Structure 1
């Protein structure tokens, strides 16, 4: 086991060391892992900072090699996580003169079979997101060939290994991590001695990729990948993880034993690996989640609440029943010493948690409120309970739907509505030749369409209008109407593909214009980082940028409440406010979710949870209230949680 030293750099050939957290969640003086973290781990507050840190290190490697008249050899990854790194490298090339003329690259993997011009191809991904924007020589770019006949694959993978060796080995290897802990496509069961080869993809990996391929059935079952031994042969490795959904596997990879079922744990054996994670992905690390188990801590109010709630849930006792023995047994005697008695600590935390509860009488009244909904159903899924109460409190509410959500509509729904329009035309003569021509174009497109193809504008419009109608129907259940809905249709989303464009000035302007027009006292914003295709994160980025511009101009700034989407809920320890719902109110919320018929029964992008959204909501909201019950506080039927930014 490595012995971590807070803040110490990891040198080539030296011991991989952990670095103290830069997160606001944990005490900065806590030793980084205190012997638990076996891979040097850097925690940063914002995922964008990871991109800047890693790109700066890559630039340093490239320039050092160039200064010696040598070629830097980079191992590159694909997926959503490295895109920020590639954007920063492009910026360094354009603005600071970073040259890639003498850089050789080797990509980790490619689906098999896969045409290089497919929208799913990693070959296309790399050229669109990096190579086409820098001065790398095409002959220096190496990506596994997904078009090879099967009988030639073994020879090609051996040649890939030989090319890496001929280039002098990889100087810097960039990695992401999958939910199973895979690196590259080294799925559970991949051995430490494995080399570049053809592999069968794990069911979890294929499910994760289902959104990109518009259905799990379209995801290839095989892939070409560098092996674990190939990756470990790199002189330096950076592995990236962002978002709450990666927290569990990050802890397993960093603190767990080396295990063939979790390929990332093999990185513990590498002398110069650094894990770069944001706050959300670091949440389960011991030094972040339970730092008092490692060393002396500074007992801030937030840390005290987290610790006492953890102790209550761990022991199975209500907060007011915790004893001196409980605190001593779990290394929390110093907290009792600070307050004098267990009863004093218990009472303080009990009261602080109770103060978070906000029923209708304690919620805003007669204010201007904007509810930002990234997709056309996030409002009722994530904040339906508070939305209903805010309507009852006579607030002036606007629900701003930031994207059309049109890619999340099945083609069979389009066919159904085209058939409806044609039948209406035949019976009532409301469409005529133009409608029939429109329907013919739509039917032809859907008939010829291949999985993942971008819809023609007519189909995109049908899907957009369908979701807009569902959104209005949903808020009508809450007591609002179409006059309360704004459809922003932000440009970044309008690619027709799962992968979106970066947030740009046009997106920010749309949000700023709305805020300056309405002058809200309060806004509700999706703060969910587990959204599988990143739209929630990108919408929040646009809102943050708009607020920054308004602040700089001296304009009115609203109070910001963050909710979470269909993927996770704020823990009671992190929530600023907990909003209770009665059984009847939860039923109304679910009825509003039901109005989104295109997302009912089977949503196109369900993530890892295959339950319907209303089922997730019911379980999540009931679980929040049940947690308070287990802690010994008042018992409610269900609850939503919010953080005031």
Structure 2
């Protein structure tokens, strides 16, 4: 399969793991496995029972399932689904509801029967939740158990919402969300204060009873927890480690999420490797960090104690190897002499501040080289401006108007419209045009202030305001 790494089980990996170069390929692989289960169950005269997850990671899987339904005739008419979790309390029609997520991203585009969809109810009174969780468990048992469970993994190592401290015997229940989980969800809820503090979730025991489990992770921010889940000991503080005890679990991850696994981070510790120039540099930099020494001061003993003697032998001596790596690292530093001079340069920034944060140093050197520079901001980025900042700017305008510095009538009219909207705005509501304009202008002033620090004039900023990434 193109782009996927299918090695024999790694000696340190306690969950079979497939690494995929392309996240889209990850979605295709997992969707095909789900399709195989559905077809096999139908061929046997039964129905497939799927456990499904929400979040950004499985969206690629759901897109591929939709394609398979439309183009290959994959039917979901006899599929029964159970979702992992739901925030509590949560109106099922809310923008943040997992019920809404599933219907918008999957179910509405399939031939699945609404009666065959099961999602924990986050809209019930608290005194009915125990009955709801028992009912959910009973329905899973009545369906014959889950054939295939799809999972993601949170930064705390949670599967479902089984936060640190969840036991292997836990069942569907109401849980308190970890602060890290709520912080990670803050952007989706337009502020951490809007993130529910509780959720309904399948328990670890419920998940482990599935006949097959596929767990997904993408992105370098998941690398650390993937490493702990796959190579660490079983730990009640990391629910995903319980998957090591399941006989048919497979981890699907992209290359960035695999970065901390031994076979990716330090493959030379597992045995013979093909020493590419890039891998040589990585190994010597790693050794420098392990030994606490500068690259040029690494000795034969350092290499021997860290199982890298064979690498030294390939280069003749530690000095030759150290010098090679030192020069390779130095070549990566882009001094002014290696950058264009007296040229026209355009920098495309997705939204204000990406330019200064991501390549401010290079831009400063380009300015010093007398280049004619334009920074083109593709979107307004107004989604990143909080409402309280709009109120603060509105207060500034009112104070200026009160002192006669600007026209008060226009400020009053603008202020009334914005106050009326912000006073009744709910999380997820789309801003009125006046609020969007103020947020856009705030980002533009931030962008101009940023490029000034680099030595650029205000006119170097161009704001394209493309119609996406808006509130």
Tell me which of 157, 163, 186 is aligned to 2:133. 157
Q: How does 1:524-563 map to 2 (within 5 A)?
A: none
Q: 1:429: Cα distance to partner?
A: 8.7
* 2:51 counterpart SS class: strand
C-alpha separation in 2, matches of 1:420 and 1:350: 54
Tell me which of 52, 58, 66 is aligned to 2:42. 66
Which residue pairs with 1:177 in the alignment? Answer: 153
* 1:281 counterpart SS class: helix
Q: How does 1:577-588 map to 2 (within 5 A)?
A: none
Which residue pairs with 1:87 in the alignment? Answer: 63
Which residue pairs with 2:233 in the alignment? Answer: 257
C-alpha separation in 2, matches of 1:271 and 1:380: 49
Q: 1:322: Cα distance to partner?
A: 1.9
C-alpha separation in 2, matches of 1:170 and 1:468: 51
C-alpha separation in 1, matches of 2:186 and 2:236: 25
Change (3 A) 1:136 1:481: farther
Which residue pairs with 2:33 in the alignment? Answer: 57
Q: TM-score, normalised by structure 2?
A: 0.95
Change (3 A) 1:442 1:275: same
* 1:165 counterpart SS class: helix
* 2:12 is equivalent to residue 48 of structure 1: no
Tell me which of 326, 329, 342 is aligned to 1:350. 326
Tell me which of 124, 141, 152 is aligned to 1:148. 124
C-alpha separation in 1, matches of 2:178 and 2:3: 33
Change (3 A) 1:368 1:236: farther
Tell me which of 284, 287, 294 is aligned to 2:263. 287
Give CA-to-partner distance per residue, 1:290-339, whole Å, 9 cap, x none.
Answer: 00000101111111000011111111122222222222221112212211
Change (3 A) 1:490 1:52: farther
| Contact 1:102–1:136 (Cα < 8 Å) also in 2 | yes
Change (3 A) 1:102 1:488: farther
Q: 1:191: Cα distance to partner?
A: 0.7
Q: 1:219: Cα distance to partner?
A: 1.5
Q: How does 1:47-446 map to 2 (within 5 A)?
A: 47-425=23-401, 435-446=411-422
Q: 1:362: Cα distance to partner?
A: 2.2
Which residue pairs with 1:15 in the alignment? Answer: none
Q: 1:398: Cα distance to partner?
A: 2.4
Give CA-to-partner distance per residue, 1:36-62, whole Å, 9 cap, x none.
Answer: 001111111122221111112112222
* 1:39 counterpart SS class: coil
Give CA-to-partner distance per residue, 1:29-87, whole Å, 9 cap, x none.
Answer: xx656410011111111222211111121122222222223211111111111112112
* 1:445 counterpart SS class: helix
C-alpha separation in 1, matches of 2:10 and 2:105: 39
Change (3 A) 1:418 1:160: same
C-alpha separation in 1, matches of 2:95 and 2:32: 29
Kindly tell me the number of residue pairs found equivalent between the two proteins.
Answer: 471
Aligned-residue RMSD, C-alpha = 2.1
| Contact 1:32–1:287 (Cα < 8 Å) also in 2 | no
| Contact 1:33–1:286 (Cα < 8 Å) also in 2 | no
| Contact 1:21–1:32 (Cα < 8 Å) also in 2 | no
Q: 1:127: Cα distance to partner?
A: 1.2
User: Tell me, which stretches of 5 or more residues in structure 2 are unaligned?
Assistant: none
C-alpha separation in 1, matches of 2:136 and 2:466: 42
* 1:274 counterpart SS class: strand
